[in-house]
C-alpha cells in the first residue's frame, strides 16, 4: 500500500458520520440566514486572478504567496492571455457577481450568503487546511438603500452571535475594532510609520519586517517583550475621522442595547486590503493557535475598486472546519441509522425485498437491504451492527402468506405483520421512541 494515491496535502475527506454533522450544521445555518432575509449565492470556485489582486490586495500574503493560480492554456497563444485562480476567500467573487449582474438595480439591500470551499497554499496545521470551507454572508447595496448604516453592522453581528448560540458554540468572544476609511487611514499610517521608525529596530525580527511591509500588522504581534512598545504606539481610534467615529460609536450603542457582548480591540487587524471601518473577529479558546472562527468587516470601497458602482457593504466568513472542531469539544457524534434492514432469504427474494423497500421508502422510512444469498444469521447480525431499529424477514413463506416477520432489534420482540401494515407499525414505534 506504499504508492497508493492519497488526498493531496492540506486536503481531507469528510466521512460519515462526521459528514452528517456538517450537513446538520449547514441546515441550521441556512434556516437562520433565512430568518434574516439572506438568500444563497453560488459563485465559481475559479476566478480571474486579477479579481483577487484588485480586491484582497497585491501585497497581502494571501495573494502574493498563497494562491493556487495558473495560466489558462486555451488562451496562452492569443493576445487575451488570462490567469485563473482558485478563490482564497468568498467576498471578492460575490461582489464581482453583484457588479456583473447589475444587482444594485434590485430593490433594497442584497443579503447574500454562501457555503463552499476556499483554497490557500499554506502549510497545514491544526485548524488550517489548503482546502477549507467557509460559510459567509454579505450585505451590499447603494447607500440610498441604507448599506452604510451602522444598523446593518449591528444586525450582522447580532445574527452571528445568535447563530453561534443556536449552533451550540459556547464561550466565543467578539472582538471589535474600526480600521478607518480611505480618508483617515493614510494619515494614520503616516503617523504609525513615523513612530515605528524609532521603535521598530528594538523589536522582534518579524516586527522589523512588518514595520516596512505592513505596519498595521505590528499591532498584532504576540511577542511579550514587544507589548509595552506596542501599547505606546499611536492608536487608530485617535485618528478616525468624524464620520467613522460616529459610525463606530453607533454600532457599539446598538450592540449594547441588544445585549450582544463584545470587547474593543484597537489592535485587531485584518489581512485583506479592502476592509474599512467596522472590523471584527469571533474567537474561541478550544482551537489552539488558529483561534478565529469568524472574521469580517465592512468594505465600503470594494465595488468601486473592481470597476463597479459605489456599493458599500459588510460581510463575514465563518471557518466551517473550525466551527465543527469546537462543536466536537462539547457534543458527541451521532450516526445515522436505518429504520429497517430487510433480510431477503433465498432465491428470488432480492426482487421481493426491492418491492417492499420501495413501498416503505415511499412512507419515508429509511431502508437498507441485505442479499438473498446471506444466511439469516448473517443478515440479522449485519442489521444490528449497522444500528437498524427493525429487521424485516422476506422469505418464501412470508411472500406466499402476505404476513411478514418484523423483528425489533433492541428488544428481540418479533411480530407477524400483514404487508400493508409494516410501514405503520414501524412508524408508530419510531414515534413512541422519539
Partner RNA sequence: GUGGGUAUAGUUCAGUGGCAGAACGCCAGACUGUGGCUCUGGAUGUCGUGGGUUCGACCCCCACUACCCACCCCA
Among the listed residues 104, 113, 114, 132, the single contact to RNA using CB under 7 A: 132
CB under 7 A: which stretch of 22-30, 93-101, 142-150, 376-384 binds RNA?
A: 376-384
Compute the least distance from the CB of residue 102 to RNA, in Å: 27
DSSP string, 343-354: EEESTTHHHHHH
Closer to RNA by CB, 134 or 276: give it.
134
Member of 25, 104, 127, 248 binding RNA (CB under 7 A): 127
Q: Cα(first)–Cα(last) distance of the chain, in Å?
A: 45
Task: Report if residue 25 touches RNA, rule: CB under 7 A.
Answer: no
What is the layout of strands, in order, in the sheet containing 414-418? 367-369, 340-345, 390-395, 403-408, 414-418
Regarding 134 and contact with RNA (CB under 7 A), the answer is: yes
Residue 258 contacts by C-beta under 8 Å, 6 or more apart in sequence? 154, 158
Count of residues interacting with RNA (CB under 7 A):
73
Residue 1 as a binder of RNA (CB under 7 A): the answer is: yes
DSSP state of 53: I
Question: Closer to RNA at the Cβ: 306 or 388?
Answer: 388
15 binds RNA per the rule CB under 7 A? no
User: For residue 66, what is the DSSP state?
Assistant: S
Q: Which is nearer to RNA, 134 or 149 (CB)?
A: 134
**Which residues inside 272-301 make contact with RNA, applying CB under 7 A?**
272, 281, 288-295
Which residue's CB is nearer to RNA, number 110 or number 283? 283
Q: Least distance from C-beta 55 to RNA, angstroms?
A: 12
Span of 33-41, 123-131, 244-252, 327-335 interacting with RNA by CB under 7 A = 123-131
* 128 makes contact with RNA (CB under 7 A): yes
Most distant pair of Cα atoms in the chain: their distance? 94
Give the pairing type, strands 340-345 and 367-369. Answer: parallel
Q: Under rule CB under 7 A, which residues in 407-426 are in contact with RNA?
A: 407-412, 414
Q: Does 139 bind RNA (CB under 7 A)?
A: no
Looking at 150-158, 179-187, 265-273, 357-365, which segment touches RNA (CB under 7 A)?
265-273
Cα–Cα distance for residue pair 122/378, rounded to 1 Å = 48
E strand map for 179-312: 263-264, 276-284, 292-298
Query: Does the protein bind RNA through residue 222 (CB under 7 A)?
Result: yes
> Is residue 271 near RNA by the rule CB under 7 A?
yes
- Is residue 377 part of the contact set for RNA (CB under 7 A)? yes
Q: Which of residues 143-202 bind RNA (CB under 7 A)?
A: none
Q: How far is the CB of 77 from RNA (least distance, A)?
A: 29
Per the CB < 8 A criterion, the answer to whether 55 and 62 are in contact is: no
Closest C-alpha among 306, 315, 312 to residue 100: 306
The CB-of-1 to RNA minimum distance in angstroms stands at 4
Q: How far apart are CA 137 and CA 91, in angstroms?
A: 8
CB of 18 to RNA, least distance (A): 14
Mask: binding to RNA, 191-220, rule CB under 7 A, as x and -? ---------------x---x---x--x--x
User: What residues contact residue 191 under an 8 Å CB cut-off, 6+ apart?
Assistant: 234, 239
CB of 230 vs RNA, minimal distance in Å: 13
Please pick, from the candidates 116, 117, 338, 395, the single residue that binds RNA as defined by CB under 7 A.
395
Report if residue 2 touches RNA, rule: CB under 7 A.
yes
| CB environment 154-164: b (16+ within 10 A), e (fewer) | bbbbbbbbebb
Strand 131-140 to 313-319 pairing = antiparallel
Question: Is 234 a residue that touches RNA (CB under 7 A)?
Answer: no
x/- track of binding to RNA for residues 48-77 (CB under 7 A): ------------xxx---x-----------
CA distance 368 to 343: 9
**What residues from 305 to 324 belong to the interface with RNA (CB under 7 A)?**
317-319, 321-322
For the purposes of burial, counting CB atoms within 10 Å of the CB of 262, is it exposed (0-12), middle (13-18) or buried (19 or more)? middle
323 Cβ partners below 8 Å, 6+ apart? Answer: 25, 135, 167, 169, 293
Regarding 267 and contact with RNA (CB under 7 A), the answer is no
Amino acid at each position: 500500500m506504499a504508492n497508493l494515491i492519497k488526498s493531496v496535502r492540506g486536503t481531507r475527506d469528510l466521512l460519515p458520520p462526521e459528514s452528517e454533522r456538517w450537513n446538520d450544521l449547514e441546515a441550521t445555518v441556512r434556516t437562520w440566514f433565512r430568518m434574516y432575509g439572506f438568500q444563497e449565492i453560488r459563485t465559481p470556485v475559479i476566478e480571474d486572478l486579477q479579481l483577487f489582486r484588485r480586491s484582497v490586495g497585491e501585497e497581502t500574503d494571501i495573494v502574493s504567496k498563497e494562491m493556487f493560480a495558473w495560466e489558462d492554456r486555451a488562451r496562452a497563444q492569443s493576445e487575451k492571455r488570462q490567469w485563473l485562480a482558485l478563490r482564497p476567500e468568498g467576498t471578492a467573487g460575490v461582489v464581482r457577481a453583484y457588479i456583473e449582474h447589475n444587482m444594485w438595480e434590485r430593490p433594497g439591500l442584497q443579503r447574500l450568503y454562501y457555503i463552499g470551499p476556499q483554497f490557500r497554499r499554506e502549510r497545514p496545521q491544526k485548524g488550517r487546511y489548503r482546502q477549507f470551507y467557509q460559510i459567509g454572508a454579505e450585505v451590499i447595496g447603494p447607500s440610498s438603500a441604507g448599506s452604510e448604516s451602522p444598523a446593518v453592522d449591528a444586525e450582522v453581528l447580532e445574527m452571528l452571535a445568535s447563530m453561534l448560540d443556536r449552533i451550540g458554540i459556547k464561550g466565543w468572544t467578539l472582538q471589535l475594532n474600526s480600521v478607518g476609511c480611505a480618508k483617515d487611514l493614510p494619515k494614520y499610517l503616516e503617523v504609525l510609520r513615523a513612530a515605528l521608525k524609532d521603535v521598530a529596530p528594538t523589536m522582534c525580527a518579524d516586527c522589523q519586517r512588518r514595520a516596512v511591509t505592513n505596519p498595521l500588522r505590528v499591532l498584532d504581534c504576540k511577542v511579550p517583550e514587544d507589548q509595552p512598545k506596542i501599547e505606546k504606539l499611536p492608536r487608530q481610534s485617535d485618528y478616525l475621522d468624524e464620520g467613522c467615529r460616529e459610525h463606530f460609536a453607533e454600532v457599539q450603542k446598538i450592540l449594547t442595547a441588544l445585549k450582544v457582548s463584545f470587547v474593543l480591540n484597537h489592535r485587531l487587524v485584518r489581512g485583506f486590503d479592502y476592509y474599512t471601518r467596522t472590523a471584527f473577529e469571533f474567537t474561541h479558546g478550544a482551537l489552539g493557535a488558529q483561534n478565529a472562527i469568524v472574521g469580517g468587516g465592512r468594505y465600503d470601497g470594494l465595488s468601486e475598486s473592481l470597476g463597479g458602482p459605489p456599493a458599500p457593504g459588510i460581510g463575514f466568513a465563518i471557518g466551517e472546519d473550525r466551527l465543527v472542531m469546537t462543536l466536537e469539544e462539547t457534543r458527541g457524534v451521532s450516526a445515522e441509522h436505518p429504520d429497517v434492514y430487510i433480510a431477503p432469504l433465498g432465491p428470488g427474494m432480492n426482487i421481493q425485498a426491492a418491492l417492499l423497500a420501495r413501498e416503505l421508502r415511499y412512507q419515508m422510512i429509511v431502508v437498507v437491504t441485505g442479499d438473498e444469498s446471506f444466511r439469516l444469521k448473517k443478515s440479522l447480525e449485519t442489521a444490528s451492527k449497522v444500528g437498524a431499529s427493525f429487521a424485516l424477514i422476506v422469505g418464501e413463506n412470508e411472500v406466499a402468506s402476505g404476513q411478514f416477520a418484523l423483528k425489533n432489534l433492541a428488544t428481540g420482540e418479533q411480530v407477524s405483520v400483514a404487508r400493508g401494515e409494516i410501514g405503520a407499525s414501524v412508524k408508530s414505534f419510531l414515534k413512541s421512541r422519539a
